[in-house]
Copies of this chain bind each other. A is one copy, B any other.
């Protein structure tokens, strides 16, 4: 249990945002905390979903795959993200968790699947001792203003540019 919880944001175009959220989750569980890890725009296979089998006190949920057709989100993508945000609100106000991760929420905001006002309203409900982590590229200024800590992951060099695909156990 923390004395006071803050709002942390991991954004930018570099590798390591969801990864850092997983790392802080691991560290938090190691300290005996309870963590909820909610993932927007994810529904396919990710190794990290197995983490809750290993880590006591970790609950994970994915809110939909967001397989945009011709680059356009479908009605279902909007519904999934909005239902995801509702779930995150319930999780946050339940006070059951010491840390609540909104993984890829910035990306969902970028694609306008949810509104920044709706996310800020949920953040307003954060219990004092709960730590909140928000990840995803393109964090809007309103989220940065609200956060206590913001790190930009900046790509200096990436092997994707050399044609290396996303690998199980590394990127997914």
Contact = CB atoms under 8 A, between A and B. Distances in A.
Contact of A16 (B2, B50, B131, B151): B151
Interface of A: 2-3, 6, 8, 10, 12, 14-16, 18-33, 46-51, 54-56, 98-99, 131, 144, 147-159, 162, 164, 167-170, 172
A49 to B, nearest CB: 8
A98 B15 CA distance: 19
Nearest to A162: B148
B153 A16 contact: yes
A3 to B, nearest CB: 8
A55 to B, nearest CB: 6
B170 A24 contact: yes
7 contacts: A8-B15, A21-B23, A22-B22, A22-B26, A27-B46, A31-B47, A153-B154
B148 A156 contact: no
Given A157-B150, A169-B32, A47 B23 contact: no
B27 A19 contact: yes
